[in-house]
Structures are given as structure tokens and as C-alpha cells.
Amino acid sequence: MSLARGQYERFRELICEFAKFGVVGVAGVFITNAVYDLMFLHLGIGPVTATTIATIVAMVATYLGNRYWSFRARQRTGVVRELVIFAVLNGIGLLIQDATVAANYYLLHLGHNKPAGFAALNLGIALATLFRFWSYRRFVWVAPAEAQRRPEAGHLSTTPMDEGGRDHDRRDPPTSAAGRRR
């Protein structure tokens, strides 16, 4: 096995999750930018308030995308628990975004420079995205227990497990009275 292939196999799950997280994130960026543009540039709402509202709207879409697609192979710990932790971590990400927008507008006085405003917004999104990916994997959608990994298949099982850690859908060969496989 080549070194590159070995590294890919080692990090395949992380790569797949990050790619899906990226697709969901890009959709969230478009939503954030569109709502920010509407609120700040067209409705005259302040930059930090517009960023906050835009991020909350995008948060709903990204929660659904991440829960049901990006991290679907990870353990489910309950929608309420996941949503509360997701919202708190997303709030921290929002503070990161708001800090970059506020620095651009209030410290650098570039609030009327549209490209600078969007650059600050998207720099904040990029920094917050790194935090969110790490924290969602760590605290919201945790890695499956080792008993749920199917090493022979090289991937995580998404089928229900019985108490012995076996897939319900998987057909194991019957065992004899002595406990050996026939």
C-alpha cells in the first residue's frame, strides 16, 4: 500500500466529514451573506445586528445539514441536547464573526467600504468555521463507540446495534453449542 493511500485510509472518515461539512458550510455562507446584504445594505440595520440575524438564519440550515448529512454516522444523543450544544457553540462562532465585523467597522472605520465589510464578514466566517468543525465533532456529534465500528468494512456502521455490539441487519453464521462458528 502506498504512503498516500495509507494516509487516505487513515483519515478517510475525517476527510469525508470535512468535505460534507464544507458543502453545508458554503450553503451557510451564501445564506449569511444574502441575509447580511439584505439587512445591512438594503434595510439599514447595523452591521453587528445584521451579522447576528444572518448567522442565526444560517444556523438553522446548517444544523439540519450537519445533523442529517455531514455527521450522520456519529452517535445520536438526542435532538434537544444536540441543538442546545450546537446553539451554544454556534454562538461562540458568532462572537468570532461579530468581532471581525466590529473591528472592521468600529476600529478600522471601514464600515462604508462594501468590499472591506464583506471581507471582514467572511474572515470571521472562516475563523468561526474552523472552531465549529472542531467543536461539533468534539461536543455535539461524538464519535461512535468502538463497539459500533466495523473494522472489516473499514467504516462506521449506521445500522442499529444489539447489546453485543452486532448489527441487527448483519447475518452472522450460526454458532454450535460449544460456541464455535460452523
Q: How confident is residue 120, by pLDDT bands cut at 50, 70 and 90?
A: very high
Q: How many residues does the structure list for the chain? A: 182
Q: What is the model's pLDDT at position 39?
A: 95
| Confidence at residue 144, expressed as pLDDT on a 0 to 100 scale | 67
Q: Strands, E, within 32-174: which ranges?
A: 149-150, 155-156
Percent of the chain with pLDDT over 90: 35
Which pLDDT belongs to residue 143? Answer: 73
**pLDDT value at position 1?**
61
Each domain of the chain, given as residue ranges in start order, spans 7-143
Distances (CA, A) of 132 to 7, 66, 100: 24, 11, 16
Cα distance between residue 77 and residue 12, in whole Å: 24
Q: Where are the beta strands (DSSP E) in the chain?
A: 149-150, 155-156
Contacts of 154 (CB under 8 A, 6+ apart): 9, 12
Question: 145: pLDDT confidence band, cut at 50, 70 and 90?
Answer: low
